[in-house]
Amino acid sequence: MKYTYLLAIPCFLLLLSGCMYPQSEQSENQVPNEEQLAVVQQAVETYREGEDGLVPIQTKDSETHIYEKYLIDFRPMLEKGYLSEIPGNAFEEGGVYQYTIVDPEGDLKVRLIDLQATEQLRSVNVRLDTYRQEHTYPAFGQKITDQIYTVDYEKLGLQEAPTVKSPFTQADLPIVMDLDGNLYIDYAYDLNQALEETDDDYEEGEDIRHLLVDDSPFVPAYSMPYTVEDGQAVFMEEE
């Protein structure tokens, strides 16, 4: 069954402006580091084994988007000796990535949220909030589906349609909006690239976002579910 996963942009997005600390200017804090990711992956797995199945995550609301729901809490791993230091590219150290866990009860994949993409989304959200204060309704653009629209960038005072740099392909991805005015990143381009590179078959109604997670250090943050229709990635909606 098709469905839509709605998500309001979390409050911490509003705090990111100006939060790229001086440390984040260092090049090592602006790139995904496979060695650091592997160290954290091992630490999280060892923590779960040593702490009776618990995982070191921050407490989030049950409605939090799946890829932002299980952000890693480094403190207990440091305090109990599972980790010697927080990675330099982590947000907590002034870096531009948040470490998150995918499937904490299963495969326990450690991945990254690119806060540079988050900041781009946040900047549009600030303009959208200002517009809604004056006009009540969001700045709806063209209709994509019954529940998803583009953003009318002219109403927001922008010169062109807002985009977000993809951490997967470096392509400029569109920003879309649901009926409640919540903003999302449209990963259709990235997903179609991934579909071209796989021999696996996917059925309509199956969420295919894991294609971006399986072979990448990143997660598709602030995304809606996607499925396959006629071999192409499309938004998955409620019928």
User: Which residue, among 178, 96, 99, has the nearest Cα to 140 in the 3D structure?
Assistant: 178
Q: Scan for tokens 């909030």, then name that residue.
A: 129
Burial (0-12, 13-18, 19+ Cβ within 10 Å), 196: exposed
Model pTM score: 0.85
What is each CA distance from 193 to 3, 73, 149, 171, in whole angstroms?
A: 23, 33, 23, 11
Mean pLDDT per block of 10 residues along the chain (239 residues) reads 37 40 49 88 97 94 90 97 96 96 94 94 96 94 96 96 96 96 97 93 92 95 95 86
